[in-house]
Structure 1
Amino acid sequence: MRFALLFIALLAPCLVAVPARALTLAPCHLAAAQSPQRISAQCGRFEVAEDRDAPGGRFLSLAVAVLPATTHRRAADPLVFITGGPGQSALESYVLAHRAFARINRHRDIVLLDQRGTGDSNPLHCPLPDDWQAAALSSQAQRELALECLQALPGDPRFYTTSVAIRDLAELLTALDYERVNLYGISYGSRVAQAFARAWPERTRSVILDGVVPLDRALGPDISLDAQRALDMMFRRCAGDRACRERFPRLAGDFRQLQRGLREAPVTLTLADPATAELSEHTFTEDWLRGVVRMFSYAPGTVALLPLLIDRAVQEGDFAPLAAQAVLLSRQLEDALAAGMHNAVVCTEDLPFIAAAGDDVDDRADTGEDTYLGVGMLESLRAACSVWPRGELDSGFRAPWRSAIPTLILSGEADPVTPPDNGEHLLRSLDEALHVVGPGQGHGMYARGCTPRIMEDFIASASIAGLEVDCIQRLRPAPFFLSFTGPTP
């Protein structure tokens, strides 16, 4: 699986008042490819300058949606839902998440903005070769792919960074006549939320950060170590579960055997297309295995399947279930993630700071002996970013976010990409914040157990004082599948 598809000291002098522009909203329905749901909303288009320093230059039309409060007791301050990636559509992501925010939506509008370069806001998609899944791409191939992408982009990637996006959001909120807002940011969206709150603290009533990426931590150096940590937690949990231990007695060793075997001899097999049932030949490589394991580590429901998939491949030589998931996941990533916008962010906001830090952490991760991901993902980022133009970055952007704004931090104990340590790191720089960790949970806590109620209570009061969070300790990871008929009773 192609690895490149992942994952302010003082802004006041840079920020200028922007006159409100007319914004007309009309009834619409939000939809997402992965869901049959259609969500009623009010939608519109919002124009912003691609380059604010080029008067008379190109304008972008951004997709906007507002879900009005569902009761008459409407609070003046909405919730702004900011999705992750970087490169995902907020309007589509919200369709998959809307049930978790229904309680908040009773008394508050929900505001959605497809960040420039994503969704229906001039998406920066990149063309991919037909056989890009067949094997890990070399550094030269990654550079060539990045250059092809740059030539095909419908915009200048220098103006698709977080620093530019938060100004779009500020202008939109002015046009919608919202004076103060509550922010919810998940994964990369947590970076956007922090950057906005630092730039406009007077406009930010409260902040929820779900799977936090602290502003002063670059994505990259810890990717392999965090992913390995989550996998090791799965191994330990299976070993501590009698039914799983008896069914998969050598799980960790089997996985290492599987990885070594694929490194030496990839497996060629014929698969039925998940959508059309058309048969086609694929080569399942170690790179594919890494991709499936990493993406399955994000959620308890898919983690529960991993032991069975690993066992099936090692003990029965049946790679079809793993390979089918690799094909499906790669398509979902390609559809859901605007790779050009993703590169615009990480090549400006992350990779340069990894190089400056000396990369001490990931240098300890070799070709897979110490971590199953090794350094492949980081090398892919380096290769792509070596030809990618640097974008706009506010002075002091990488400084820690220090704030007294009420902040709720949510982490999954087994998150493979934004582990609880990120939340603890950020907590030390905030005056009024609470960090809640979901036992056995993965990436994104918003829909887990009592989390929707906790978020509603926090937004209602904009305070961590007296917030009841003990219920989160009742969460448990999904039981392991011992066969394809389902988990144990």
Structure 2
Amino acid sequence: MPENRSHRGGGRTVRLAVAIIPAASAPPAGDPVVFMEGGPGGDAFDSIPFLIASGVNRDNDLIVMAQRGTLHSRPNLACPEIDRFNVKAVGLRYDAPSTGRLLVRAAKECRDRLAAEGIDLGAYNTTENAADFAALRGALGIDRWNVYGYSYGTNLALTYLRSHPEGIRSVAIDSIAPPPVVNLPWTWDSAGEGISEIFAACEAQPACKKRYPHLRRTLDEQVRRLEEHPLTLTARPPSGGKPVKVDLDGGALINILVANTVKAVDVPAALEELAHGNPTRFAQARALDVGTVVGAFAHGLTQSVACAEWAPGFGEDDILKAGRRNFPGWPDTVLAQPPQLPFEHHVCDVWNVPDRTAIQRVPTFSRVPALLLSGTFDAKTGASWARVAARTLPRSTSVRIPGIGHWVVPQSPCAASVLASFLARPTAPDTGCVAGLKPRPFTIIP
């Protein structure tokens, strides 16, 4: 594919890896499913086992393409510099300026290295990404196909549907990030919604309510306490190995909750244990990054998209306002950093790609049948954002799965069933299994 389609008459090209997984049934349905990975920067091929286990290829051939810049494509925009920082960062204050400076230095080293290789980092954006998928359909000679994306893949799928609507039979989007609203303050709104839903679900279960009657107050107290007096301890990474030094402050605590590295069903118990001097669950979750596979994630694609499409137009004051709106009374040192994207404005200063918000923050108006899947416990892409996307998709079906976090289909047999029904009948999917679904019982400690 052309690296930058705005360059007429040639220029650099990129190579994109594609896998085709045959349908489990024979003969397969006539219209395959193409998958769009999240991130941005995730390894799409790593998701294939989850897609197969969820039955996405039950009746349809499944096509998986590694997006431009990711692990199996060329060039690969991996940033070992950032991976090594992440390994080190588990032992540092999450939101300390000194930590931010180390992150920015790592990002600059990666950016300088990629640019020295002649890579046009501004070309690694959602518009070009969508055009790659349109070209793939033509290259494979497919008349019509179905699109399924999750997380950033929903942003990409909606951009693709808007820019290249031809040949799209249906679109399923899971854990939704609508292009018009994705920005850095938005991350606090999603965090506030997902965490509030976990607490409300505990309140609705008598045993959980009785054992953990003041969850929101407990969280507020622990964030403030840890931010003032961080804990430095050792923890064994979940993957095993030697214990490592871990720093647990308020910013680290909230990001563990957003990342769901402490399972939602364990969150009330983990907060109660933390309040009584036992930080083990959170410390082990903080140690997770020690197991990072260096080079597996394409941080270069993440930053090229985030700095061109998400960061511009909103300053640090906007992030603080969003944080205060969702978590009033928390320290500003915590609220100044958008969940999952700490120090992003400073990183973008050195990443230096053109502002693409005028092109990207655009709603998708389409009558193509759409399925919108959300998990109520999702603190990365809050479930309510499905309503934003649905406003301009008049032939859409929205489904909320109680008690599920980010990327719904692999976690919910009901959601997988709904997706299969949608692929068979996009205008009339069977959503009957959703009625009566409730979150799993929360962990109750003695």
- CA distance, structure 1, for counterparts of residue 76 and residue 328 of structure 2: 34
Q: How does 1:52-67 map to 2 (within 5 A)?
A: 52=5, 53=7, 55=9, 57-67=11-21
Code of the aligned partner of 1:111: I
**Residue in 2 that maps onto 1:108:** 60
Asked if the contact 2:205/2:441 (under 8 Å) is kept, the reply is no
- CA distance, structure 2, for counterparts of residue 366 and residue 240 of structure 1: 21
**Residue in 2 that maps onto 1:388:** 351
- CA distance, structure 2, for counterparts of residue 412 and residue 208 of structure 1: 14
**Residue in 2 that maps onto 1:479:** 441
**Residue in 1 that maps onto 2:47:** 93
Asked if the contact 2:39/2:152 (under 8 Å) is kept, the reply is yes
**Residue in 1 that maps onto 2:120:** 156
The verdict on how the C-alpha distance between 1:217 and 1:254 changes in structure 2, with shifts beyond 3 A counting, is closer
**Residue in 2 that maps onto 1:426:** 389
**Residue in 2 that maps onto 1:196:** 160
- CA distance, structure 2, for counterparts of residue 380 and residue 334 of structure 1: 21
Code of the aligned partner of 2:288: L
Deviations along 1:149-208, whole A, 9 cap, x unmatched? Answer: 202336332111111111221222222111211100111101111111122212111111
In the TM superposition, residue 474 of structure 1 has moved relative to its aligned partner by 2.7
Q: Which has the higher strand share?
A: 1
- CA distance, structure 1, for counterparts of residue 17 and residue 36 of structure 2: 13
The answer on 1:320 being equivalent to 2:280 is: yes
The verdict on how the C-alpha distance between 1:410 and 1:357 changes in structure 2, with shifts beyond 3 A counting, is farther
In the TM superposition, residue 113 of structure 1 has moved relative to its aligned partner by 0.4
Residue of 376, 389, 404 corresponding to 2:337: 376
Q: Which runs of 5+ in 1 are unaligned?
A: 1-47, 485-489
Residue of 88, 109, 120 corresponding to 1:131: 88
Asked if the contact 2:148/2:172 (under 8 Å) is kept, the reply is yes
Code of the aligned partner of 1:174: G
- CA distance, structure 1, for counterparts of residue 308 and residue 337 of structure 2: 20
In the TM superposition, residue 360 of structure 1 has moved relative to its aligned partner by 8.9
- CA distance, structure 1, for counterparts of residue 108 and residue 391 of structure 2: 41
Secondary structure at the counterpart of residue 75 of structure 1:
coil
- CA distance, structure 2, for counterparts of residue 72 and residue 216 of structure 1: 41
In the TM superposition, residue 321 of structure 1 has moved relative to its aligned partner by 2.5
**Length, aligned pairs only:** 429
Secondary structure at the counterpart of residue 350 of structure 2:
coil
Code of the aligned partner of 2:227: R
- CA distance, structure 2, for counterparts of residue 244 and residue 336 of structure 1: 39
Q: How does 1:211-222 map to 2 (within 5 A)?
A: 211-222=175-186
- CA distance, structure 1, for counterparts of residue 243 and residue 378 of structure 2: 35
- CA distance, structure 2, for counterparts of residue 321 and residue 357 of structure 1: 33
Q: How does 1:279-318 map to 2 (within 5 A)?
A: 279-296=243-260, 302-315=263-276, 317-318=277-278
In the TM superposition, residue 451 of structure 1 has moved relative to its aligned partner by 1.9
Asked if the contact 2:66/2:72 (under 8 Å) is kept, the reply is yes
- CA distance, structure 2, for counterparts of residue 392 and residue 370 of structure 1: 31
- CA distance, structure 2, for counterparts of residue 205 and residue 324 of structure 1: 44
The verdict on how the C-alpha distance between 1:357 and 1:478 changes in structure 2, with shifts beyond 3 A counting, is same
Asked if the contact 2:237/2:291 (under 8 Å) is kept, the reply is no
Residue of 176, 196, 215 corresponding to 1:232: 196
The verdict on how the C-alpha distance between 1:279 and 1:407 changes in structure 2, with shifts beyond 3 A counting, is closer
Q: How does 1:177-192 map to 2 (within 5 A)?
A: 177-192=141-156
Q: Which has the higher helix share?
A: 2
**Residue in 1 that maps onto 2:307:** 347
The verdict on how the C-alpha distance between 1:259 and 1:397 changes in structure 2, with shifts beyond 3 A counting, is closer
- CA distance, structure 2, for counterparts of residue 433 and residue 383 of structure 1: 39
TM-score, normalised relative to structure 2? 0.87
Asked if the contact 2:227/2:331 (under 8 Å) is kept, the reply is no
Deviations along 1:374-397, whole A, 9 cap, x unmatched? Answer: 231266221111222225849643
- CA distance, structure 2, for counterparts of residue 357 and residue 181 of structure 1: 43
- CA distance, structure 1, for counterparts of residue 233 and residue 392 of structure 2: 52
Asked if the contact 1:50/1:57 (under 8 Å) is kept, the reply is yes
Code of the aligned partner of 2:443: F
TM-score, normalised relative to structure 1? 0.80
Code of the aligned partner of 1:476: K
Q: CA RMSD in A?
A: 2.9
Code of the aligned partner of 2:268: P
Asked if the contact 2:32/2:145 (under 8 Å) is kept, the reply is yes
